[in-house]
Amino acid sequence: MSVELGLPKIRPQAPQLAPRRKSRQIMVGSVPVGGDAPVSVQSMTTTLTSDVNSTLQQIAELTAAGCQIVRVACPSQDDADALPQIARKSPIPVIADIHFQPKYVFAAIDAGCAAVRVNPGNIKKFDDKIGEIAKAAAGAGVPIRIGVNAGSLDKRLLEKYGKATPEALVESALWECSLFEEHGFQDIKISVKHNDPVVMIEAYRQLAARCDYPLHLGVTEAGPAFQGTIKSAVAFGALLSQGIGDTIRVSLSAPPVEEIKVGSQILESLGLRERGLEIVSCPSCGRAQVDVYTLAERVTAGLQGFPVPLRVAVMGCVVNGPGEAREADLGVASGNGKGQIFVKGEVIKTVPEDQIVETLIEEALRIAEEMGVEVDLDDDGGPGVQVVTAP
Ligand code: SF4
């Protein structure tokens, strides 16, 4: 089942920085990856895969956050045994992540997983098994991700290059592809992950120039949320702005839902995905006549989950405020204890400062209603909205 964001269109798609690199398209279950398919966002569960209920619960949370493809680790037989149920009940395609034991590749294919990720550097005698894997995968229509990782690079290439250079990562990936190609199997996507965005960017650039396989972008072991977000945004931004990348996974030492939020935001920022709620708020300065931080936070919280793409400007004074507020779908320019409320470029009213947030929420609801989207306030009538129906 593919997951559509289902956002009604309020404004044209943002212009993109570069045409997408031409890649062949594969299907990860119902989600196309590569070709002209939108760049998809994926994550990985952190539960024990053998704990089917917890894993499915986390997959449900990820799906609600916008995750389109999910990967689950499969380090043991108990995990392999859980795959059929997880693959069957997951609302989004499930990829089994296999290291060390080739037998789990076959188990994942038999289990109905949408794809299998293999790390050639971590699977002993992997190359000897490729014929059998290619045959099983082709028979089931299951694509393979060749996931090369700097931390587990093939020993032969480590000796040749001395460390995990971009060239070493690319050679490893293309070598494995060539072995699959010998068996007529090209239902492949590739990742060449490194924890250093500079090495990672260069590796993907080289890879993009040398094959037409779809590419899964990732900065591996990117770190805790703040550092990992910055590294991923920089690396993915550099590549996606050149049209390179077909699916992304942000790796954070944080709950996986955070990875989805960051990944989605990166795509939205680059105009590769319809923007949802976008708060354009000023950084505040000595001219501010209102507490911009609190106001922006309250508006963000109040409109969280809003089902209509909306750009809301929250500006601290009348210097840049009216200009930005006019450009947004909805906005406020504050000053003298009051807020001028803008809707679609026009001032519709001026309200006292303590009514700014509720007025913006009211107007946002009105915009949604005009678009045929019904939205309810939370049970307590406070900030935060719940979608009742969306077209
Ligand atoms: S809008 Fe006003 S308060 Fe906000 S940063 Fe600009 S000048 Fe400062």
Asked whether 234 lines ligand 1 (CB < 6 A), one says no
For the chain, the farthest-separated pair of C-alpha atoms sits apart, in whole angstroms, at 75
Mean pLDDT to the nearest integer, 380-389: 46
What is the CA(320)–ligand 1 centre distance, in A? 6
Mean pLDDT to the nearest integer, 280-289: 89
pLDDT for 8 equals 52
CB of 277 closer than 8 Å to CB of 303? yes
pLDDT at 83 over 80: yes
pLDDT for 13 equals 58
Mean pLDDT to the nearest integer, 163-188: 95
Asked whether 296 lines ligand 1 (CB < 6 A), one says no
Asked whether 289 lines ligand 1 (CB < 6 A), one says no
pLDDT tens digits, 37-46:
999 999 999 9
- Number of Cβ atoms within 10 Å of the Cβ of 283: 9
pLDDT tens digits, 45-59:
999 999 999 999 999
Q: Is the alpha carbon torsion for 63, 55, 265, 301 positive or negative?
A: positive
- Residue ranges with strand state E in the chain: 26-28, 31-33, 40-44, 69-73, 94-98, 115-118, 144-149, 188-193, 216-217, 247-249, 277-281, 310-315, 330-335, 338-343, 346-352, 374-377, 385-389
Residue nearest to atom 2 of ligand 1 (CA): 317
Residue nearest to atom 8 of ligand 1 (CA): 285
Average per-residue pLDDT for the chain: 89
pLDDT at 204 over 80: yes
Q: How many whole angstroms separate alpha carbon 69 and alpha carbon 27?
A: 11
Asked whether 18 lines ligand 1 (CB < 6 A), one says no
Q: 374 or 363: whose pLDDT is higher?
A: 363
pLDDT tens digits, 96-125:
999 878 899 999 999 999 999 998 777 666
CB of 239 closer than 8 Å to CB of 201? yes
DSSP H helices, 303-388, are 321-327, 356-370
pLDDT for 385 equals 53
pLDDT for 14 equals 62
Ligand 1, closest atom to CA 282?
Answer: 4
pLDDT at 10 over 80: no
| pTM (two decimals) | 0.86
pLDDT at 391 over 50: no
pLDDT at 387 over 70: no
pLDDT for 318 equals 79
Q: How many whole angstroms separate alpha carbon 349 and alpha carbon 342?
A: 7
Ligand 1, closest atom to CA 288?
Answer: 3
pLDDT tens digits, 209-264:
999 999 999 999 888 999 999 999 999 999 999 999 999 999 999 999 999 999 99
Mean pLDDT to the nearest integer, 359-368: 93
Percentage of residues of the chain with pLDDT beyond 70: 91
What is the CA(293)–ligand 1 centre distance, in A? 12
- HSE-up of 283 (CA within 13 Å, CB side)? 1
Mean pLDDT to the nearest integer, 300-322: 86
What is the CA(105)–ligand 1 centre distance, in A? 56
How far is residue 34 from each of residues 1, 24, 189, 218, measured CA to CA in Å? 18, 6, 9, 16
Q: 309 or 94: whose pLDDT is higher?
A: 94
Q: How many whole angstroms separate alpha carbon 98 and alpha carbon 146?
A: 10
pLDDT for 154 equals 85
At residue 274 the predicted structure's pLDDT band, cuts being 50, 70 and 90, is: confident
Asked whether 315 lines ligand 1 (CB < 6 A), one says yes
pLDDT for 275 equals 81
Asked whether 284 lines ligand 1 (CB < 6 A), one says yes
Q: How many whole angstroms separate alpha carbon 133 and alpha carbon 179?
A: 11
pLDDT tens digits, 179-194:
999 999 999 999 999 9
Asked whether 282 lines ligand 1 (CB < 6 A), one says yes
Asked whether 283 lines ligand 1 (CB < 6 A), one says yes
Asked whether 321 lines ligand 1 (CB < 6 A), one says yes
Mean pLDDT to the nearest integer, 147-171: 92
